[in-house]
Chains A and B, each alone.
Chain A
Amino acid sequence: MNRTDILEVIREELARLAPEVDFDGLDPTADLREQADLDSMDNLNLLTAIHQRLGVEIPDRDAGRLSTLDGAVAYVQAALGPE
């Protein structure tokens, strides 16, 4: 799965959780929760969306690896393969 497709899922979920956030203005290397002011419930909903829509298992101990947009893309690609 390519980067654009993965980011699109995250963009759509963030639009629901944090509609005021300018997705294109986010720093993909910085902590997403801090940038978008996501609380633990928002974060759980975001992980749920990635898990359900992209079919990626995200064990709880791995949740920290999806803390940035780059981290999330890398994690999903590692799980599903790049294309």
Chain B
Amino acid sequence: MIEFRMPSLGADMEDGVLVEWLVKPGDAIKAGDVVAVVETQKGAIEIETFDPGVLDSQLVEPGATVPVGAPLALIRAADEPPNAQAPARSAPAPEAPAAPTAPPAPVAAAPPVVQVEASGALPRLRVSPAARRLAAERGIDLSKVTGTGPGGAIQLADLEAPPKAAPRPAGFDFTQMRAAIAAAMSRSKREIPHYYLIDTVDIQASVEWVARINAERPPDRRLLLGALYLKAAAVAARAYPEFNGAFEAGAFRPGQAVHVGMAISIRGGGLAAPAIHDTADLALDELMARMRDLVGRVRAGRFRSSEIADPTITVSSLGDRGVEALFGVIYPPQVAILGFGKVVERPWVVEGAVTARSVLTITLAADHRVSDGHRGALFLAEVGRLLQHPEAL
């Protein structure tokens, strides 16, 4: 019997609210299946399991706040008998979650949990479990609801007449998301000795190659330059492993694969940088399809636990309406972030003559505990070099 636990979806996460079970006791599950939906500061997240078997029993009810590492359900092997002494389902306890009975331990394949800092916690709204569930279903921002229950707690009745507000994507609590970003970025600036490098490269070859590819394709199959950026970053990171991985408990652990976190802005404020798994191994069309899918799901407020937990390096691109350069803040426990500015036309010297070229400014912010500027410069130059040969990406 394996305990399926509340995963850690970031250094700043203390607990999550179970919104919905997607698997019933007795259902067969395989590795990678989405088992439940959990509401966190980052929005509603689909939690996957990495242990195949049969869902034996659910240990918590929707609406319960569950600390990171605490068991959510029991999973038994396919040939194992059902658990006769399954623990009683614990009552929802949104206000005072029980201390985890075991030290926080993530599900398999998630990185070790980083010590949580209490200063990152927000005052929690008092909300009845049923009201929290309904709010999650309807995308109601609980911070805008006035509670009439005991101690000002928000109850179902308080949600009957939802407040008039601009429509927002379901599943986001923008106050909480801002707090999550603040906690992660404050920790980053406090703990990570960043160094910064910047390089401007001729990107004409990639611009023309993408235009040539797209000319023959309907809009749903077109590529964006951003797909080339992610691929180049991933391929370069594989060759420079000190920029790909996690710095935890005083030591750097190189990533086993390259899972590029793609910074995605969320309308209304905030951002997320979930992983595209095995980025370096994806063909550009497949990578582009994954990017479209991920952006769509993130903006709709639905992403998966492994996408949150797994990034090994982040790529941030402000796109073609942005600015020429951006310097990123490393997302802990990662050790590097690449920033791509917008493509601009500039006078450029090619073979001794000034000519108009499309150029791109790429930056690297990296962790000085793990690497130095010399290797950083080689890594950044490799990204630029790869973009000179888009057909090889």
Q: A59-B215, A60-B215 in contact; A39/B319 too (CB < 8 A)?
A: yes
Q: How far is the CA of A56 from the CA of B214 in the complex (A)?
A: 16
B166 at the interface (CB under 8 A from A): yes
Is the beta-carbon distance between A60 and B217 smaller than 8 angstroms? Answer: yes
B25 at the interface (CB under 8 A from A): no
Is the beta-carbon distance between A37 and B267 smaller than 8 angstroms? Answer: yes
Interface residues on B, range: 20 to 34
Q: Which residue of B lies closest to A33 (CB)?
A: B321
Q: A19-B167, A20-B167 in contact; A41/B219 too (CB < 8 A)?
A: no
> A25-37 interface mask toward B, CB cutoff 8 Å, 1 = contact, 0 = none?
0000000011001
**What's the least CB distance linking B94 to chain A, in Å?**
28
Determine the chain A residues whose CB is within 8 A of the CB of B320 once the complex forms: 40
**What's the least CB distance linking A8 to chain B, in Å?**
18
Q: Which of B172-224 contact A (CB under 8 A)?
A: 211, 214-215, 217-220, 222, 224
Number of A-B contacts (CB under 8 A): 54
Q: A20-B166, A52-B220 in contact; A40/B267 too (CB < 8 A)?
A: no
Q: Which residue of A lies closest to B167 (CB)?
A: A19
Determine the chain B residues whose CB is within 8 A of the CB of A47 once the complex forms: 219
Q: How far is the CA of A52 from the CA of B220 in the complex (A)?
A: 9
> B148-166 interface mask toward A, CB cutoff 8 Å, 1 = contact, 0 = none?
0000000000000000001
B169 at the interface (CB under 8 A from A): yes
Q: Which residue of A lies closest to B318 (CB)?
A: A39
**What's the least CB distance linking B212 to chain A, in Å?**
9
Identify A19's interface contact among B168, B214, B295, CB under 8 A.
B168
B375 at the interface (CB under 8 A from A): no
> B214-239 interface mask toward A, CB cutoff 8 Å, 1 = contact, 0 = none?
11011110101110000000000000
Identify A44's interface contact among B168, B222, B265, CB under 8 A.
B222
**What's the least CB distance linking B222 to chain A, in Å?**
6
A48 at the interface (CB under 8 A from B): yes
Is the beta-carbon distance between A39 and B321 smaller than 8 angstroms? Answer: yes
Q: How far is the CA of A39 from the CA of B271 in the complex (A)?
A: 14
Is the beta-carbon distance between B321 and A20 smaller than 8 angstroms? Answer: no
Instruction: Give me 16 A-to-B residue pairs in the complex whose CB atoms sit less than 8 angstroms apart, sorted by A's number.
Output: A19-B168, A19-B169, A20-B166, A20-B167, A20-B267, A20-B268, A39-B265, A39-B321, A40-B224, A41-B226, A44-B224, A44-B292, A45-B296, A48-B219, A48-B220, A59-B215
Contacts beyond the supplied A20-B167, A58-B218: 20 A-B pairs with Cβ under 8 Å: A18-B267, A19-B166, A20-B166, A20-B267, A39-B265, A39-B321, A40-B224, A40-B226, A40-B321, A41-B291, A41-B292, A44-B219, A44-B222, A44-B292, A48-B218, A51-B219, A52-B220, A60-B211, A60-B214, A61-B211
Contacts from B to A (Cβ < 8 Å): 166-169, 211, 214-215, 217-220, 222, 224-226, 265, 267-268, 291-292, 295-296, 319-321
Report the 10 A-B pairs with minimum CB-CB distance, sorted nearest first: A47-B219, A60-B214, A48-B219, A19-B167, A48-B220, A39-B319, A20-B166, A51-B219, A40-B319, A41-B295
